[in-house]
Structures are given as structure tokens and as C-alpha cells.
Amino acid sequence: MNEKAILKVNGQEFELPIIVGTENETAIDISKLRAMSGYITLDNGYLNTGACTSAITFLDGENGILRYRGIPIEQLAEKSTFTEVAYLLIYGKLPNESELKEWNSAITKHTLIHEDLKRLYVGFPKDGHPMAIMSCMIASLSTYYQDSYDPTNPEHREISIIRLLAKFPTIAAFAFKKSIGQPSIHPINALNYCQNFLNMMFAVPTEEYEIDPIAEEALDLLLILHADHEQNCSASTVRLVGSSLANIYAAISSGICALWGPRHGGANQEVLEMLNEIHDSGLTVKQVIEKSKQKFSNFRLSGFGHRVYKNYDPRAKIIKKATYKVLNKLGVKDHLLDIAIELEEAALTDDFFVERKLYPNVDFYSGIIYRALGIPVNMFTVMFGMGRLPGWIAQWKEMIESPDMKIGRPRQVYVGPKEISYDDAKKGG
Ligand code: CMC
């Protein structure tokens, strides 16, 4: 398409190129606008602003479509594994058999963390939120790898990627063990990614722990579904921090902080707390829905709504189905699932939610599965982070390897005081 957009402003006309994506998404390229016209654009919350082109994930929010490297999420959920999906996202293609073997083996061999790093856990209070611990520990990893974390060096990038994927579950499980006063359980190389995590979370040194294949399968599925979601708040944070050429541990640590918020990944913890509150306080579903509609209340129906999806989140669809299956197979009956279903039905028929196209998102049902696996509520967002890690890495790598990479540095429209001298300001003038 050679079409151009014409911008008329202040009696002048400017031609702006139109960029068309592979799925026919269109954008007006304003990168030269300020140089040509002196104007910038303003877009609070980036509702209309593309910060990059990307070949990783396609998301069509109107039609509820999500694809990693072109492959529909439904097919990956059914046929792939988390580590294979991680490879796909990071390297842009599915690995062949020997590549996958090598990849899994590389990750397996880097799961230990330095013994000295473990001492950091001692400084955290017992009930310190694990997202704070994760962010701190991941940033601290960089202190052990100062000779191999240069983002402009391809070999450094490769080893850092492996280290991060390998050590994240170990760091997460150790944080949990610390919070309950149990000794940490070391990773075991004979176990796969999810088995290892479950073992580090739930085994104790005093007896055999049998890993439930149903739990392993459920965890693998949840990690796949969380693995990437294009330019969301945490991925954009990772890109922004990484664009200063800070090392990848620093960039991922910032992504963890961004994910923590309840409008983003922290919503999975909030959903469970909300469901529990409904159960314990005797509030009706209708009362909760009404409260979430109040304009000036900060309360929102957690796990509902999405910036991009104006349709049922395809991940939520898969997770809802899996919730029944997993609970059934594990023989778990959870009263919170009944409340969630009632809440969903009430919201989907409520005019406020219908008009605003607010549907359940990935966080609405995931917590019920995590709960059935024995994962505590304050670890839910850590689980989201473990899943999202390959996406953050892929986004970071794509940016760093792009010849067009620039430091991320938005502009602003200044609306503060006009120039005033120090003396006049002091006089209150
Ligand atoms: N409950 C009640 N009202 C809502 C909700 C909700 N969950 N979500 C949006 N609205 C209303 C909002 O009040 C606004 O109403 P009005 O037009 O009258 O002012 C309208 O819907 C549009 O909301 P918005 O905040 O302008 O939309 P956004 O695209 O900026 O926000 C969101 C998206 C996900 C932050 C928001 O839907 C939300 O806060 N949801 C609850 C938190 C949540 O579940 N977050 C997880 C998102 S999915 C996973 C992830 O990305 O981490």
C-alpha cells in the first residue's frame, strides 16, 4: 500500500506514511512528525500508540484471537509444552527434536542459584510479598554475572536467557519455602521444567514426594497461556528499561514490578481474594457487581475487562474449560468456582458490562486451578511471571537485535507554571 495519511495543521499539510502489518493492521507512521511540523502526538495510556513493530505475537481483540509466531493459542495449548513455546517465542520457530532436547538440557543445567545469593532470602520478612522478592532476586542475579550480561553481545544474550529461564522457578520456589519456614529443595536434573517446580514447591526432605501428572499438565498449560501478550504493561516496561542497554536481569526485574499491579498480573490474586470475600462476608454477587460499577469507587470486578480484548479472552476460554477438567481429575470441589461462575453469568448479562464489552480475562479462572494445585494466593502473580518470562525475553531480544533500536523516551506537553524567578516564587508572586 502506498497510501499516505494527510495531516492538516496550522495551514500546512503533512504526508505521513501508512504501515500495514501482516494481518492488515494499519498504522500512521508519525516518527518524522515533530521534525516536519513541530507537533507531537498525545495519547494518555497509549490507547492508540504502537511503540514498535513486532513479529512475535498477534492479538485481535475484537475477534478474540491470540497467536504466538502465527500459531493459534488453542493449538499450542493442546499440542505443545511450555519450554517448546518459550523456544518458539524467543527464536521465532518451533524447535526440531534435537534443538528441543538441547534447549531443555541447557535450561536444566542452569537451575541452581549461587549459595551466597540464597542468603538474601534471610533479610525478607516471613510475609514479604513474593513479587518483591522475585524482583529483587532477579535483579540481584546480575551481580553474579557481570562478565556476561552485555546486551549487545550475542553470546552474553544467549547465556543470560538460559539462566533466567532456568533460575526463575528455583528462586520462586525458594521464596515460598522461606515463607513457610521449610528448607529449600534443590532442583533435580532428571525432572522436567514443571515437575521440577512442583517438586521444589511441595517436596520435603523427610519423605518421598510424588509429582501428580495432572498437576504437571495443568501447570504446563497455564504457563503456555501466559507466555506472551505482545505490548502489555510489563513487556513494554521490559522493553523500555532494556532500551537504555541496562542488563537483561534489570529489565526483567522491572517487568516483574510492572506485572505486580492489580490492573495487570496482580489481578489473579485479587480475583481469589474477591471470591473469598464474597464467600466469607455473605455479600451477594449482585452487590459486588453494583459496587464495581460505581464511578468513583476504586473497586473493579477483578479478572474482567481488557485493554485489547473486546470479546471473550481466548485464554480465559481455555482456562475455564481446564478448571472443570483439573478439579474433576484431582477430585477437588471448590465453592469458589461456583461463585466465579455465578459472577461471570451476572456480569455478562449486565448492561454496564455488555456496553463496555467487559469479559472475563486470563486472570478470572486461573487462580482456581492454582489453588487446586496447592499454590498459595500470594504466589499467583509469581506464577503469571514464570509463564510470561519467555515473552518478556522474546520482546527484549527482538528489540535489542533490531537495527532500528532507540532508547525509549516519550515526550510530553508541559502544563506547569510559566517561567518565574526564584525571588518572585519565594514571595508567592
Ligand atoms: N470492573 C468494572 N468496571 C470496569 C472494569 C472492571 N473489571 N474494567 C473496566 N471497567 C469500566 C471502567 O470503569 C470504564 O468505565 P467508564 O467508561 O464508565 O469510565 C470502562 O470500563 C473502560 O475501562 P478503562 O479502565 O478505561 O479500560 P482500560 O482498557 O484502560 O483498562 C483493565 C483495562 C484491564 C485495566 C480494566 O478492564 C481493569 O481494571 N480490569 C480489572 C483488573 C484486571 O482484571 N486486570 C487483568 C487484565 S488481563 C491480564 C493482564 O494483562 O495482566
In one-letter notation, the amino acid at residue 211 is I
* Cell numbers placing 204: 520435603
pLDDT at 298: 84
**Choice among 129, 306, 313, 350 that is catalytic:** 306
pLDDT at 297: 83
Classify the C-alpha dihedral 385-387-390-395 as positive or negative: negative
Which residue, among 348, 390, 350, 383, has the nearest Cα to 368 in the 3D structure?
Answer: 383
Contact (Cβ atoms closer than 8 angstroms) between residue 233 and residue 388:
no
pLDDT band at 1; cut points 50, 70, 90 = low
CB contact set of 400 (below 8 Å; sequence gap of 6+): 151, 152, 157, 242
Ligand 1 site-directed mutation target among 307, 309, 315, most atoms within 8 Å of CB = 307
Least confident range of 93-102, 223-232, 259-268, 297-306: 297-306
Helix (H, G, I), strand (E, B) or coil at 272: helix
C-alpha 308 – ligand 1 centre gap (Å): 10
Q: Whole-angstrom Cα distance, residue 103 to residue 259?
A: 27
DSSP E strands: which ranges in 53-170? 57-60, 65-68, 71-72
Task: Read off the pTM.
Answer: 0.97
DSSP 120: G
User: pLDDT tens across 307-344, in order?
Assistant: 999 999 999 999 999 999 999 999 999 999 999 999 99
Which residue, among 29, 383, 54, has the nearest Cα to 235 in the 3D structure?
Answer: 54
pLDDT at 428: 87
In the numeric block, the cell 454496564 is attached to 352
Judge whether 306 counts as a catalytic residue: yes
Please report which helix (H) or strand (E) contains residue 8, including its range.
strand 4-9
Q: Whose CA is nearest to atom 39 of ligand 1?
A: 263
Which residue, among 65, 28, 80, 84, has the nearest Cα to 230 in the 3D structure?
Answer: 65
C-alpha 306 – ligand 1 centre gap (Å): 6
Q: Whole-angstrom Cα distance, residue 373 to residue 332?
A: 10
C-alpha 268 – ligand 1 centre gap (Å): 14
Which residue, among 42, 38, 41, has the nearest Cα to 30 in the 3D structure?
Answer: 41
Atom of ligand 1 nearest to the CA of 308: 29
C-alpha 263 – ligand 1 centre gap (Å): 7
Which residue, among 50, 11, 58, 45, has the nearest Cα to 28 in the 3D structure?
Answer: 50
C-alpha 235 – ligand 1 centre gap (Å): 19
Judge whether 229 counts as a catalytic residue: no
Pocket of ligand 1 (CB under 6 A): 45, 232, 263-265, 267, 292, 300-307, 356, 358, 361-363
DSSP 204: B
Q: What is the mean pLDDT of the chain?
A: 96
Q: Whose CA is nearest to atom 25 of ligand 1?
A: 307
Q: Is the pLDDT of residue 139 over 70?
A: yes
Atom of ligand 1 nearest to the CA of 271: 44
Q: Is the pLDDT of residue 282 over 90?
A: no
User: pLDDT tens across 148-203, in order?
Assistant: 999 999 999 999 999 999 999 999 999 999 999 999 999 999 999 999 999 999 99
User: pLDDT tens across 224-260, in order?
Assistant: 999 999 999 999 999 999 999 999 999 999 999 999 9
Which residue, among 30, 24, 68, 69, has the nearest Cα to 49 in the 3D structure?
Answer: 30
